[in-house]
Amino acid sequence: MANQRGNWTQPAARLYPHQWLWDSVFIAIGLAHYNVNRAAEELVSLERGQWSNGMVPHIIFSRSTTYWLSHFVKIPLPSGIATSGFTQPPLIAVGAAAVSKQLTGRRRTDFIRQMLPWLIRYHEWIYRERTVDESSLAVIIHPWESGMDNTPEYMRILNRHWPKEGDLALRKDIGYTASDQRPTDREAIHMLAQAKLAKECDFDGARLMRTSPFIVKDICFNSVLVAANAALVDLAQQVKFKLPRELTTRMSRTRESLATLWDNDTNFFYSYDVKNKRLLTGTATVAGFLPLFADAARRQQAKQLVQQLRDPTRFGSKFPAPSVARSYKHFSTTRYWTGPTWINMNWLICKGLEHYGFTREVEQIKTASLELVAGDGFREYYSPLTGYGLGAQSFSWTAALVIDWLHTQTPHRNA
Ligand code: GLC
């Protein structure tokens, strides 16, 4: 694997030459099938970026490469390692559970014991620093923390607050990838302004609650959190470790509260804008399917979601699932998170559909995804209509998740 850098893996050369949180988890899930020790290392390596308060950063910077985003997000730790001050969908415990399944006996328990203490501190940090009310739904302080950067409703929130013009001199991503496949200049200006604000506030959730225009209960982040909480409970049970009571109480509340992110008019899940106290129903995104991954949607809701996966005005397409609903006014087949199909989202949706027994739909998404890769290689994302490959080439999580699909059978359960 050309993207490996010792015990961690970069998402792609040039565009992403450092370690990203959820990329490493997807990568470990693939690696676990043919080099389980290396998969375990990939996850263990994330701990070196953990802050003393428990936060696990979305980027751990490699010493050997400079990066255009460093100026906005980079913070040196006392250990000498530099990280970003943001986090990402907290998928690590899910990866740890997948890796632990490929281990046996003492090696399994040792690995779980190595992962548990810092994962618990991470989940406790989420509940301590990133919840704002009784719902126990976590808030994100920047669109990057959703993993789906230029999500349309998020760009709308930032657009209302930040000036239209800004300094783009530092923007280097469009030097590596065609600019019509990346966020627009306006979106980039706003995301960088939001990052600057977060850095000025020392990435402190409480301070940002007062000053930031962007505080959101993100549906992807919270669905992943619910799945990761369940994985954490499972890992702890395997080594007979008792999780703190306060933590498990908060975990159950998050799971129950996902239901509040459902909209009865459109039969879909959305993120919630805490600052403006409203569900962001303006544009449905693929993240609305992820309560399936959390196994937290009701059966009837799951059926309604499946209908929208088939509906060509919503998420039905030759190569599902587009990152936003096709009815979106500025739907784009090429531009980053405003239309293209991403393999990690398809993988999460398939895992979710498996919980509900939608075997046929899982097979359809898998087959279409494998066709994308067979046609245009391990790309970062693809046109949902033509299958044309877009963004970075030799993209790590695309390769890793294809490996996972090729090694696992879809469990057959009745829908
Ligand atoms: C982009 C994606 C994010 C991913 C990162 C590295 O920022 O939006 O989800 O983790 O690239 O691949």
Domain boundaries, the chain: 4-407
Distance CA 348, CA 290 (A): 7
Question: Roughly how many angstroms between the first and final C-alpha of the chain, as a whole number?
Answer: 38
The pLDDT tens digits for 321-370 are: 999 999 999 999 999 999 999 999 999 999 999 999 999 999 999 999 99
Determine the atom of ligand 1 nearest the C-alpha atom of 380: 12
* Known active-site residue 149: yes
Residue 132 above 90 pLDDT?
A: yes
Q: Distance from the CA of 20 to the center of ligand 1, in angstroms?
A: 7
Pocket probe for ligand 1: among 19, 20, 390, the residue whose CB has the most ligand atoms within 8 Å is 20
* Residue 415 pLDDT: 66
Peptide bond connecting 284 to the previous residue in cis, omega within 30 degrees of 0:
no
From residue 132, how far is each of 53, 169, 181, 292 by CA, in Å? 18, 36, 35, 24
Nearest Cα residue to atom 12 of ligand 1: 11
The whole model's pTM is what?
A: 0.97
Identify which of 274, 276, 296, 288 has the alpha carbon closest to the alpha carbon of residue 133: 274
Determine the atom of ligand 1 nearest the C-alpha atom of 392: 12
* Residue 298 pLDDT: 98
Pocket probe for ligand 1: among 3, 10, 16, the residue whose CB has the most ligand atoms within 8 Å is 16
Q: Give the pair of three-digit tokens for residue 95.
A: 């990866």
Confidence of residue 68 (pLDDT cuts 50, 70, 90): confident
Q: 3-state DSSP call for residue 277? A: coil
Long-range pairs for 261-270 at CB < 8 Å and ≥24 separation? 261/137, 261/217, 261/219, 261/222, 261/291, 262/291, 262/301, 267/301, 267/304, 267/305, 267/307, 267/308, 268/304, 268/305, 268/308, 269/219, 269/297, 269/305, 270/219
Q: 3-state DSSP call for residue 243? A: coil
Contact partners, residue 26, CB within 8 Å, separation at least 6: 91, 95, 344, 347, 396, 397, 400, 401
Please, where are the H alpha helices in 269-358? 299-310, 343-355
Give the pocket of ligand 1 (CB within 6 Å): 11, 16, 20, 22-23, 147-149
* Residue 410 pLDDT: 78
The CA radius of gyration of the chain, in Å to the nearest whole number, is 20
The pLDDT tens digits for 69-126 are: 888 888 989 999 999 999 999 999 999 999 999 999 999 999 999 999 999 999 999 9
Given 42, 361, 380, 404, which residue is catalytic?
A: 380
Q: Give the pair of three-digit tokens for residue 305.
A: 């979601």
The pLDDT tens digits for 5-25 are: 999 999 999 999 999 999 999
Identify which of 171, 159, 153 has the alpha carbon closest to the alpha carbon of residue 72: 171
Confidence of residue 65 (pLDDT cuts 50, 70, 90): confident
* Known active-site residue 376: no
Q: Distance from the CA of 147 to the center of ligand 1, in angstroms?
A: 6
Distance CA 134, CA 117 (A): 25
Beta bridge partners of 84: 74
Identify which of 246, 336, 324, 249 has the alpha carbon closest to the alpha carbon of residue 289: 324
Contact yes or no for 317/384 (Cβ under 8 A): yes
Residue 412 above 80 pLDDT?
A: no
* Residue 172 pLDDT: 84
Distance CA 336, CA 57 (A): 22
The pLDDT tens digits for 158-182 are: 999 998 888 787 788 888 889 999 9
Q: Distance from the CA of 144 to the center of ligand 1, in angstroms?
A: 8
**CATH for the 4-407 domain, from 2.170.130.30, 3.90.1570.10, 1.50.10.10, 3.40.50.300:** 1.50.10.10
Q: Distance from the CA of 245 to the center of ligand 1, in angstroms?
A: 34
Nearest Cα residue to atom 2 of ligand 1: 147
Distance CA 330, CA 339 (A): 9
Window from 151-155, 169-173, 248-252, 293-297 with minimum mean pLDDT: 169-173
Nearest Cα residue to atom 3 of ligand 1: 147
Nearest Cα residue to atom 4 of ligand 1: 147
Confidence of residue 414 (pLDDT cuts 50, 70, 90): low
Determine the atom of ligand 1 nearest the C-alpha atom of 16: 6
Residue positions counted in the chain? 415
* Residue 49 pLDDT: 98
Determine the atom of ligand 1 nearest the C-alpha atom of 23: 10
More confident residue, 168 or 44: 44
Determine the atom of ligand 1 nearest the C-alpha atom of 396: 12
Distance CA 57, CA 98 (A): 21
Q: Distance from the CA of 87 to the center of ligand 1, in angstroms?
A: 12
Pocket probe for ligand 1: among 73, 149, 151, 286, the residue whose CB has the most ligand atoms within 8 Å is 149
Given 149, 187, 218, 361, which residue is catalytic?
A: 149
Give me the chain's average pLDDT, please: 96
